Copies of this chain bind each other. A is one copy, B any other.
Amino acid sequence: MKLSLAEENYLKAVYHLSAEGETEVSTNAIAEEMQTKAASVSDMMRRLSEKELVHYKKYQGVRISNDGARAALQVVRKHRLWEVFLVEKLKFSWDQVHEIAEQLEHIKSPLLIKRLDEFLGHPKYDPHGDPIPDENGEFKEKPQIPLSSTNLNDDGIVVAVKDTSPVFLQHLDRIGIYLGAKIKTIEKTEFDGSMEILIDQKNKLFISKEVAQNVLVTN
């Protein structure tokens, strides 16, 4: 089944939203995610459900189907492989790659993706710490918790970021937080959720609640 660019983008949105929260995804949530209008979403959901890529009952929200998830995962795979390529080979920074990968993910050529994957050495994670599905859509997410819910004196390694927007990533660059950094929790402020942390056993740093909630670490 060959999908249009728009269909692929909608499928990906439904997949991401149902992966995050509940199984039933609302029309409005999709419209929000896609920067489009609810009316357009209703229309597309009707079409996707005719192709059996989503389960859809009017006014009841949508759920991704098995076929739909498979298709979405292939797009996600391509997106993340391209992001790795851009960072590892073309020296882009992690805040620059998402927008370009949004275009590259729609290139149709199974052989291209196979070769790209080989060229990159079969990477398992993208520059934001998100797992890359294999040819069968299988992947393993690293165990991860928000920095904000670590305990005092806990040591952790930064493995991913929840927010992947350029502004947030640039902020992390500025304050010196990066994937792989070793972080010890020194102090947690009840009042505003801010924290004091130690990076790589060297640099003490105050971070806001917003930062702490969007940096994911593992022990």
Bits for A82-108, please: 1 = Cβ < 8 Å to B, else 0: 000010011110001001100110011
Q: Is the CB of A136 closer than 8 A to any CB of chain B?
A: no
Q: Interface residues, chain A, CB within 8 Å of chain B?
A: 86, 89-92, 96, 99-100, 103-104, 107-109, 111-112, 115-116, 119
Q: How many copies does the complex hold?
A: 2
Q: Which of B90, B108, B109 contacts A112 (CB 8 A)?
A: B90
Contact present for B90 and A119 (CB under 8 Å): yes
Would you give 18 A-B contacts (Cβ < 8 Å), ordered by A? A86-B112, A89-B119, A90-B112, A90-B115, A90-B116, A90-B119, A91-B115, A92-B111, A92-B115, A96-B111, A99-B109, A100-B107, A100-B109, A100-B112, A103-B107, A103-B108, A103-B109, A104-B107
Q: What B residues does A107 contact at CB under 8 A? A: 100, 103-104
Identify 16 new A-B residue pairs, CB closer than 8 A, beyond the known A90-B116, A103-B109.
A86-B112, A89-B119, A90-B112, A90-B115, A90-B119, A91-B115, A92-B111, A92-B115, A96-B111, A99-B109, A100-B107, A100-B109, A100-B112, A103-B107, A103-B108, A104-B107
